[in-house]
Amino acid sequence: MKVELIGAGETVQVYESKSSSRLLYSGLKEGADVPYECATGTCGTCKVKRISGEFSWLWPEAPARALLKSADDFLLCQCAASTDLKIEVRSKLKDLKEIAQRPQWLTGEINNSATVAPGVMTFSVKLSQPISFLPGQFMVIEFAGIQGGRAWSMTNEAKLTDTLDFVIKKKPQGLLSDYLFAKENLIGLKANLFGPIGKAVYDGALDRDLVCIAGGTGMAGMMSILSAFIASGAYLRNRADVFFGVRTPADLFFEQELKQFIEQSKGALRVIVAFSDAAASPEFIAANPLLKFDQGFVHEVAMREMEGHFTPKTRAYLAGPPPLVDGALRMLLLKARLPATEILYDKFG
Ligand SMILES: Cc1cc2nc3c(=O)[nH]c(=O)nc-3n(C[C@H](O)[C@H](O)[C@H](O)COP(=O)(O)OP(=O)(O)OC[C@H]3O[C@@H](n4cnc5c(N)ncnc54)[C@H](O)[C@@H]3O)c2cc1C
Ligand code: FES
C-alpha cells in the first residue's frame, strides 16, 4: 500500500506499507520522518489525521487511543494501511536520508540472564546479524505467545555488535515481564526485535556536559550513553553528573559498572544514588567509596546538587517513570533554564 505523508509547509513523503505492518515501523524502515516517541501505543506522539484511505487498528485497546479526538485520528504505531493512505502530520517533514542505521526487523535469542536486584533482571539477546545503534536507543521486542512488542533500551556500548544487553523491571501485572520473571530458564528463548529506534541519543563528538537523571531501569540507556562518554574520550573535555534513583540500598544495581566508569573518567564523572524510601547504612556507604549517596526523589536531589553548576554546554538525559521525567523536565526548564532542545528523555509510562 502507498502511504503519503503530508507535513506542514507542504512537505510530502511517500513510503510503502503492508496491510499487516505497523505504519510507524514501515515508515521508519524506509527513512520517512514519521513522528514517534514510545513506538508502543502509550504516548500519543505518533498521532496523525487521515485525509483519505482506510486503516485498521492492530491493538484497539492502546492506551494512547484515549487521546484521539476524531475517528480520522489514529496512531501510526498501532495501525496498518488497509488501502492506499493520505495522512496529515502536524510537523514539517525533515529529510532523513542521512540516517546511518535504519531500523529493521531482526531475530535473536536470549543467551544469558541474571537477577540483579529484587524484580530487576538483565538479559542479552544474540542477534542473527550484527547491527550498530546510537547510545540511548531502544528496541521493540516480541516473544511468541505474547501480543505486541515491548520497548527496552540497550545498556551496552553502541558499536557494531551481534549482542544487545538489556535490564528490565518486573511491572506489576505486566504480561511479558511476568512471563519472563516466572520462567526458570530464559536461555534459548527466541525473540523478534524491531529497531534500533529512539531519539534521546548521545553523540560523543558533541561538546556537551551531561546531566543524566534516571529512575530504576531508566538507567538502561544511560549505561550505553556513559560507555560512549568514556569510549569517545569526551570525558577529557566534558563532565557528566549522573543521578540514579532507586527505593532502597537493596534495589541498587550496576554498582560495579558505574564504579568502573568513574575510575576510567579520571574525575570527569560523578554518580549520586538517591534513595527515596530508606537511607544507606554507614557500612553500605563504606563499601561503595566511589559512589555518593543522598536521600529523596532523584530529580529533587539532582536539582539540589546541580544548583549553580549548569553550563551553556549542559545537555540533560532523563529516563524512568512519568512523575520523575515530568518533575525533572519542569525543574530543568523553569529553574535551570535549559533550552528544551537540550533535554532528551524516555518516559516509561
Ligand atoms: C522508549 C522506552 C524505553 C524503555 N526502556 C525500558 C528499559 O530499558 N527497561 C525497562 O524495564 N523498561 C523500559 N521501558 C518500559 C517497558 O517498555 C515496560 O515496562 C514494558 O512494556 C512492560 O511490559 P509488560 O508486558 O510487563 O507490561 P504490560 O502492561 O503487559 O504491557 C506494557 C506494554 O506492552 C504493550 N502491549 C501490551 N499489550 C499489547 C497488545 N495486545 N498489542 C500491542 N502492544 C501491547 C504496550 O506498549 C503496553 O503499554 C521502556 C519504555 C519506553 C517507552
Ligand atoms: S509512538 Fe505511538 S503512541 Fe507513542
CATH at residue 308: 3.40.50.80
Q: Is the CB of 170 under 6 A from ligand 1?
A: no
Task: Please tell me whether residues 293 and 334 are part of one structural domain.
Answer: yes
CATH of the domain at 174: 2.40.30.10
Q: How far is the CA of 287 from the centre of ligand 1 (A)?
A: 34
- Tell me which ligand sits closest to the C-alpha of residue 217: 1
Q: How far apart, in Å, are the Cα atoms of 148 and each of 57, 145, 224?
A: 12, 10, 25
CATH assignment at residue 68 = 3.10.20.30
The answer to whether the CB of 171 is under 6 A from ligand 1 is: yes
Where do the H-state alpha helices sit in 236-275? 255-264
Total of domains in the chain: 3
pTM of the entire structure? 0.96
Q: Is residue 346 lining ligand 1, measured as CB closer than 6 Å? A: yes
- 68 Cα: distance to centroid of ligand 2 (angstroms): 12
Residues 185 and 158 in one domain: yes
Domain that holds residue 138: 104-197
Other C-beta atoms within 10 Å of 20: how many? 9
Residue 324 lies in a domain: yes
Residue 223 lies in a domain: yes
| Cα–Cα distance for residue pair 26/18, rounded to 1 Å | 8
In a shared domain, residues 216 and 330: yes
In tens digits, the chain (349 residues) has pLDDT values of 999 999 988 889 999 999 999 999 999 999 999 999 999 999 999 999 999 999 999 999 999 999 999 999 999 999 999 999 999 999 889 887 666 678 999 999 999 999 999 999 999 999 999 999 999 999 999 999 999 999 999 999 988 999 999 999 999 989 999 999 999 899 999 999 999 999 999 998 899 999 999 999 999 999 999 999 999 999 999 999 999 999 999 999 999 999 999 999 999 999 999 999 999 999 999 999 999 999 999 999 999 999 999 999 999 999 999 999 999 999 999 999 999 999 999 998 6
Domain finish residue from 47, 68, 92: 92
Binding pocket residue ranges, ligand 2, CB within 6 Å:
36-39, 41-46, 64, 75, 77
